[in-house]
Amino acid sequence: MTGKVDARLAQLGLTLPTPVAPVANYVPFTIVGNLLFISGQLPLNADGLVKGTLGQDISVEAGYAAARTCAVNLIAQAKAALGDLDRVTRVAKIGAFIACAAGFTDQPKVANGASDLMVEVFGEAGRHARSAVGTNALPLGAAVEVDVIIEFA
Protein backbone atom coordinates (compact mmCIF):
# COMPACT_ATOMS: atom_id res chain seq x y z
CA MET A 1 0.00 0.00 0.00
CA THR A 2 1.35 3.41 -0.90
CA GLY A 3 1.05 6.38 1.38
CA LYS A 4 -0.45 9.79 0.71
CA VAL A 5 2.88 11.35 -0.24
CA ASP A 6 3.76 8.47 -2.59
CA ALA A 7 0.35 8.89 -4.23
CA ARG A 8 0.97 12.62 -4.59
CA LEU A 9 4.35 11.95 -6.23
CA ALA A 10 2.66 9.61 -8.70
CA GLN A 11 -0.04 12.20 -9.38
CA LEU A 12 2.71 14.72 -10.17
CA GLY A 13 4.35 12.18 -12.51
CA LEU A 14 7.47 11.97 -10.36
CA THR A 15 9.50 8.82 -9.80
CA LEU A 16 12.11 9.05 -7.08
CA PRO A 17 15.61 8.11 -8.20
CA THR A 18 17.98 5.92 -6.27
CA PRO A 19 19.62 8.29 -3.78
CA VAL A 20 23.07 9.44 -4.84
CA ALA A 21 26.03 8.40 -2.73
CA PRO A 22 28.17 11.16 -1.21
CA VAL A 23 31.07 12.44 -3.36
CA ALA A 24 33.29 13.33 -0.38
CA ASN A 25 33.71 12.69 3.35
CA TYR A 26 30.14 13.10 4.62
CA VAL A 27 26.95 11.08 5.00
CA PRO A 28 23.80 11.66 2.94
CA PHE A 29 21.73 12.40 6.04
CA THR A 30 21.77 12.45 9.81
CA ILE A 31 18.94 12.17 12.30
CA VAL A 32 18.97 14.14 15.53
CA GLY A 33 15.88 13.57 17.64
CA ASN A 34 12.95 14.05 15.28
CA LEU A 35 14.90 16.14 12.79
CA LEU A 36 16.30 14.78 9.54
CA PHE A 37 19.20 16.78 8.09
CA ILE A 38 19.80 15.93 4.43
CA SER A 39 23.11 16.88 2.84
CA GLY A 40 23.11 19.15 -0.19
CA GLN A 41 21.79 17.51 -3.32
CA LEU A 42 22.88 18.49 -6.81
CA PRO A 43 20.66 18.71 -9.91
CA LEU A 44 21.50 15.22 -11.13
CA ASN A 45 18.91 13.44 -13.24
CA ALA A 46 18.76 10.87 -16.04
CA ASP A 47 20.27 13.44 -18.42
CA GLY A 48 23.25 14.05 -16.12
CA LEU A 49 24.32 16.94 -13.93
CA VAL A 50 22.98 20.42 -14.70
CA LYS A 51 26.12 22.55 -14.80
CA GLY A 52 26.67 26.23 -15.37
CA THR A 53 26.35 29.71 -13.96
CA LEU A 54 23.09 31.58 -13.56
CA GLY A 55 23.16 34.96 -15.23
CA GLN A 56 25.90 33.77 -17.58
CA ASP A 57 25.04 30.52 -19.38
CA ILE A 58 21.98 29.24 -17.49
CA SER A 59 18.57 30.95 -17.55
CA VAL A 60 16.43 31.55 -14.47
CA GLU A 61 13.94 29.01 -15.86
CA ALA A 62 16.66 26.36 -16.26
CA GLY A 63 17.90 27.18 -12.75
CA TYR A 64 14.37 26.77 -11.40
CA ALA A 65 14.18 23.33 -13.05
CA ALA A 66 17.60 22.43 -11.62
CA ALA A 67 16.47 23.39 -8.10
CA ARG A 68 13.35 21.28 -8.60
CA THR A 69 15.58 18.33 -9.53
CA CYS A 70 17.57 18.92 -6.34
CA ALA A 71 14.30 18.75 -4.39
CA VAL A 72 13.36 15.44 -6.04
CA ASN A 73 16.76 14.11 -4.94
CA LEU A 74 16.17 15.44 -1.40
CA ILE A 75 12.83 13.64 -1.25
CA ALA A 76 14.54 10.43 -2.43
CA GLN A 77 17.05 10.78 0.42
CA ALA A 78 14.18 11.42 2.88
CA LYS A 79 12.47 8.23 1.72
CA ALA A 80 15.73 6.30 2.18
CA ALA A 81 16.15 7.76 5.68
CA LEU A 82 12.57 7.44 6.92
CA GLY A 83 11.18 4.57 4.85
CA ASP A 84 7.77 6.25 4.68
CA LEU A 85 7.36 9.83 3.47
CA ASP A 86 4.08 10.11 5.38
CA ARG A 87 6.28 10.43 8.49
CA VAL A 88 7.25 13.95 7.36
CA THR A 89 5.44 16.43 9.59
CA ARG A 90 7.21 19.57 8.37
CA VAL A 91 9.80 20.69 5.87
CA ALA A 92 11.46 23.08 8.31
CA LYS A 93 14.26 24.77 6.35
CA ILE A 94 15.71 24.71 2.87
CA GLY A 95 19.11 26.10 1.96
CA ALA A 96 19.53 26.82 -1.75
CA PHE A 97 22.93 27.65 -3.21
CA ILE A 98 23.05 29.07 -6.71
CA ALA A 99 26.20 29.34 -8.82
CA CYS A 100 25.83 32.77 -10.36
CA ALA A 101 27.61 35.57 -12.14
CA ALA A 102 28.42 38.83 -10.37
CA GLY A 103 25.35 41.05 -10.29
CA PHE A 104 22.84 38.16 -10.53
CA THR A 105 20.05 38.81 -8.03
CA ASP A 106 17.32 36.31 -8.93
CA GLN A 107 18.43 33.61 -6.46
CA PRO A 108 14.94 33.53 -4.89
CA LYS A 109 13.33 32.78 -8.27
CA VAL A 110 15.76 29.88 -8.80
CA ALA A 111 15.27 28.52 -5.26
CA ASN A 112 11.50 28.53 -5.84
CA GLY A 113 12.04 25.40 -7.93
CA ALA A 114 12.80 23.46 -4.74
CA SER A 115 10.32 25.37 -2.55
CA ASP A 116 7.41 24.96 -4.95
CA LEU A 117 7.99 21.21 -5.23
CA MET A 118 8.08 20.73 -1.45
CA VAL A 119 4.70 22.46 -1.16
CA GLU A 120 3.30 20.47 -4.12
CA VAL A 121 4.39 17.20 -2.54
CA PHE A 122 3.82 17.81 1.19
CA GLY A 123 1.08 20.47 1.14
CA GLU A 124 1.06 22.81 4.14
CA ALA A 125 3.74 20.66 5.80
CA GLY A 126 5.99 21.59 2.87
CA ARG A 127 5.98 25.32 3.70
CA HIS A 128 9.37 26.20 5.12
CA ALA A 129 11.92 28.80 6.08
CA ARG A 130 14.60 29.28 3.43
CA SER A 131 17.92 30.78 2.46
CA ALA A 132 18.78 31.46 -1.19
CA VAL A 133 22.47 32.22 -1.54
CA GLY A 134 24.53 33.11 -4.59
CA THR A 135 28.06 31.80 -4.95
CA ASN A 136 30.74 31.80 -7.62
CA ALA A 137 31.03 27.99 -7.85
CA LEU A 138 29.50 24.75 -6.59
CA PRO A 139 30.81 21.17 -6.44
CA LEU A 140 31.36 19.46 -9.80
CA GLY A 141 30.34 22.65 -11.60
CA ALA A 142 26.69 22.26 -10.57
CA ALA A 143 24.35 25.18 -11.21
CA VAL A 144 22.43 24.65 -7.95
CA GLU A 145 22.72 22.74 -4.68
CA VAL A 146 19.92 22.40 -2.12
CA ASP A 147 19.84 20.97 1.40
CA VAL A 148 16.94 20.54 3.81
CA ILE A 149 15.95 20.00 7.44
CA ILE A 150 12.80 17.94 7.91
CA GLU A 151 10.78 17.26 11.06
CA PHE A 152 9.26 13.79 11.23
CA ALA A 153 7.12 11.61 13.47
Residue 38, C-beta contacts closer than 8 angstroms, at least 6 positions apart: 28, 29, 74, 77, 78, 81, 147, 148, 149, 150
Q: Which residue has the higher pLDDT, 66 or 2?
A: 66
**13 pLDDT above the threshold of 80:** yes
**pLDDT per residue as tens digits for the range 47-101:** 999 999 999 999 999 999 999 999 999 999 999 999 999 999 999 999 999 999 9
For residue 85, give the CATH number of its domain. 3.30.1330.40
Whether 25 is in a domain gets the answer no
Residue 139 lies in a domain: yes
What is the per-residue pLDDT across 104-114, written as a single tens digit (0 to 9) for each? 999 999 999 99
Q: Specify if 90 maps to a domain.
A: yes
The answer on pLDDT for 1 being more than 80 is no
Residue 17 in domain = no
pLDDT tier at 23, thresholds 50, 70, 90: confident
Structural domains counted in the chain: 1
The residue segments making up the domain with residue 133 are: 31-152
- Which pTM value belongs to this model? 0.97
